Structure 1
Amino acid sequence: MKLCMFVFYLSFTCFCAFSQYSHELSYIVGCFHDGTTEVIYDFDGDLALHVDFKEKTVVFTLPSFIHFDTSSYPNIYKNANKAKGICLIIQLDDKLVPESEAPEVKDPPESILYPAEEVLRGVENSLVCFVNHFYPPLANVTWTKNNRPVSEGVFTSAFIPNEDQTFHCFSTISFKPKQGDVYSCTVEHPALEAPKTRIWDVDLESQHDLALDLYCGVGLTVALLGVAIGTFLFVKGRYGH
């Protein structure tokens, strides 16, 4: 397996007139020895969009409430095609390290599974399976609901480079919380001896109990604080200091 790659990283820093914070937009091109090319835009560490060469389109991956001018898509795809051409030249260059001399480096992925927002009964939500620190950029993420495979409502991002030359990606599934449902995401990778599975179950009752405990705790704290203030004022009024 050919594992060597080249990554071109171009970063822009911009400052919004309506905000006190600056933002970083990164343009990343990955050239891989298997002939594939990855072109992505990273906005403040989050995947903004990536180019799907198979479908010949640009896939926008930031939340829908963030507006992006889609009229620039043709230019983005055109520039990505140019980058792909450069990758092909590099991949054919005789100066590349021969496959026999390339180190067999493999880093197994870490993964966590968590809800995107607070879980409320009957309210649409998403589960996020975050897969990180893996190399080579070959990972397959699959989902189950109550031990049955699920593909509807699933989105999996492109592979995004980390600073340590490993990669990360995320996969999400849309769901409506129902007491007792059990979800799992399974990650397959060449560095794993066996697929790694994370499990998350819907437990609305315990969440309700936790919310009730927090409410009671806050209420008790406020009540005790009121008693303390009342006692202080009573003593002060009685003794005049």
Structure 2
Amino acid sequence: MRSSLLILILNISCAFSQIPHELVYILGCFENGTTEAQLEYDAEEIFYVDFERHELVYTVPRYYVNDLREKIDRFHVYENAQRGKTTCSAVLTISKAMEKNPPEERDPPMSILYPAEEVQFGVENSLICFVNHFYPPDIRVSWTRNGLPVSEGVSLSRYYPNNDQTFHQLSTLAFTPREGDIYSCTVEHSALKSPTTRIWEPELSHPSLGLDIFCGVGLTLGLLGVAAGTFLMVKRHHRQPILNR
């Protein structure tokens, strides 16, 4: 049994378009005390509720926000989400009691580590540790550089729900690539027997060196061509009198 409760899911088809659209509002709560609430339009998130800051956080482009805010605020979404949060916690408690507190289902996370942009030595970049398909939504992500813990330049996104009732989350590290540096991202989760660690180190080809090698090879081949031509010309020159006899 998963401890999340989807209190409200609204599916609305747009009547003014030949193409159907889906509007979904989800409110869920979990055993660890967290509550998630968000609105999706055709599987794209429009906003989520930040209960700590007591506000709606819009995730669509900024030029849409003002128009959306006017339409959404009239429905008192945040106030309703607060009431839903209280109801969700109560229903969760009752459900656990009725099910005689069964063990919570857990899904271990999968993680990958990659740079946000093409890597160049000395140029600022970001490493992204993408953690996916885990449940419950409670993980810990830590970073190291050359075996030493790193906290400066680290950020952690909120939890994002997947369609299979699992979650994904992003942790990023701002860094400047240096030759020989080794970075790691370690993920801890209750479904893992031990933390999982992903390691990354910059692998760069040196464009200037490659160009020099290319030019050097070209120059060498050119000189060999000139030498071969000269040799043939000289050889032919020495053979010419023999042919005239």
Q: After TM superposition, is the score higher than 0.5?
A: yes
Total equivalences in the alignment = 201
Secondary structure of the corresponding residue to residue 137 of structure 2: coil
What is the distance in 2 between the residues matched to 1:197 and 1:112? 9
Shift of 1:49: 5.1
Contact 2:56 2:78 in 1 (8 A): no
Secondary structure of the corresponding residue to residue 6 of structure 1: coil
Shift of 1:133: 1.0
What is the distance in 2 between the residues matched to 1:200 and 1:114? 7
Match of 1:87 among 85, 88, 92: 85
Contact 2:145 2:182 in 1 (8 A): yes
Shift of 1:126: 1.3
Task: Give 5+ residue unaligned stretches, structure 1.
Answer: 15-21, 217-241
Map 1:174-189 onto structure 2 (within 5 A).
174-189=174-189
- Match of residue 38 from structure 1: 36
Shift of 1:104: 2.8
Shift of 1:189: 0.3
CA gap of 1:31–1:80, structure 2 versus 1, over 3 A, is farther
- Match of residue 173 from structure 1: 173
Secondary structure of the corresponding residue to residue 85 of structure 2: helix
Shift of 1:45: 6.0
CA gap of 1:11–1:136, structure 2 versus 1, over 3 A, is same
What is the distance in 1 between the residues matched to 2:80 and 2:114? 38
Shift of 1:59: 5.0
> Are 2:62 and 1:67 equivalent residues in the alignment?
yes
Shift of 1:135: 1.0
Shift of 1:25: 7.2
Map 1:93-172 onto structure 2 (within 5 A).
93=91, 96-98=95-97, 100-172=100-172
What is the distance in 2 between the residues matched to 1:134 and 1:103? 16
Shift of 1:58: 4.7
- Match of residue 238 from structure 1: none
Shift of 1:153: 2.0
Contact 2:188 2:195 in 1 (8 A): yes
Shift of 1:102: 2.7
TM-score, structure 2 normalization: 0.65
Shift of 1:193: 1.2
Normalized per residue, which structure has more strand? Answer: 1
What is the distance in 2 between the residues matched to 1:196 and 1:96? 33
Secondary structure of the corresponding residue to residue 155 of structure 2: strand
> Percent of aligned pairs with the same residue?
46
- Match of residue 56 from structure 1: 54
Aligned AA (2:62) = H
CA gap of 1:198–1:60, structure 2 versus 1, over 3 A, is farther
Aligned AA (1:109) = P
Contact 1:4 1:102 in 2 (8 A): no
What is the distance in 1 between the residues matched to 2:85 and 2:40? 20
TM-score, structure 1 normalization: 0.66
What is the distance in 2 between the residues matched to 1:13 and 1:156? 35
Shift of 1:28: 3.5
